[in-house]
């Protein structure tokens, strides 16, 4: 059982969260723990497999980038140590290589990219309106990092009434322990926790006519 039985691909979106060079690339500004976890996890292979399956099935794919706007006032990030630190370091600046989505899971033509300045993909963005106008009521989440952006977006999505799933092998965290705790003890209380093979199997079992948007 994938946990996705009965979900309608035509009303589902697959979100790829914060897979950017400064965060994920070995030469990015945050090279270190997260890059090491990525090397050992195969997370981009998993996300790539989900992208292939969702694209083939006609599922809406949305990429989300975190940006740090240097023109924002200092008080705009004051409430979060992480956001405050990123602003101070001058990373994830719009238009830079570091802010770009990594090549392994880059968007293809026609796939929307949502820019955010907070933790959740919904905070201060047009994502909610875009999804609802597309007829989406269900979300499958992947990306970086499990206990931070993925969990934060999942919590927000559930509060907004979206049926939500998280691809366990399509996420990675700074530490294996926080990844494990989020997937085993937190996210199952809020969402469906699934995996790449289950996503591919769910979509493979759906007739092509059911995926027409």
Does 90 score more than 90 pLDDT?
A: no
CATH of domain 9-205: 3.40.50.850
pLDDT (tens digit, 9 = 90+) per residue, 120-148? 999 999 999 999 999 999 999 999 999 99
Least confident of 11-15, 69-73, 87-91, 123-127: 69-73
3-state helix, strand, coil in the chain (%, to 5): 45, 20, 35
Beta bridge partners of 138: 12, 163
Q: Which residues touch 36 (CB under 8 Å, ≥6 apart)?
A: none
The structural domains of the chain, with segments of one domain joined by +, span 9-205
Q: Cis (ω within 30 of 0) for the bond into 145?
A: yes
Q: pLDDT tens digit string along 20-46?
A: 999 999 888 876 667 778 877 899 999
Decide if pLDDT at 116 tops 60. Answer: yes
pTM of the prediction?
A: 0.90
Helix-helix angle 43-57:33-41, to 10 degrees: 60
Q: CA 161, 165, 171: angle at the middle one, nearest 5?
A: 130
Instruction: Give the pLDDT confidence score for residue 48 in this predicted structure.
Output: 97
């Amino acid at each position: 059982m994938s946990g996705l039985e009965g979900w309608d691909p035509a009303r589902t979106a697959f979100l790829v969260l914060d897979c950017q060079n400064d965060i994920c690339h070995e030469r990015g500004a945050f090279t270190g723990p997260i890059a090491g976890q990525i090397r050992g996890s195969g997370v981009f292979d998993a996300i790539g497999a989900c992208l292939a399956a969702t694209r083939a099935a006609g599922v809406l794919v949305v990429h989300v980038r975190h940006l740090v706007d240097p023109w924002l006032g200092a008080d705009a990030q004051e409430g979060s140590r992480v956001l405050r630190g990123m602003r101070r370091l001058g990373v994830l600046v719009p238009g830079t290589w570091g802010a770009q989505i990594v090549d392994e899971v880059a968007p293809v033509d026609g796939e929307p990219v949502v820019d955010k300045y907070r933790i959740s993909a919904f905070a201060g963005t047009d994502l909610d309106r875009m999804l609802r106008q597309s007829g989406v009521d269900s979300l499958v989440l992947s990306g970086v990092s499990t206990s931070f952006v993925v969990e934060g977006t999942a919590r927000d999505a559930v509060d907004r009434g979206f049926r939500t799933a998280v691809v366990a092998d399509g996420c990675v965290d700074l530490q294996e322990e926080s990844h494990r705790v989020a997937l085993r003890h937190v996210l199952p209380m809020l969402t469906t926790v699934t995996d790449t093979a289950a996503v591919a199997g769910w979509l493979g079992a759906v007739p092509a006519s059911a995926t027409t948007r």
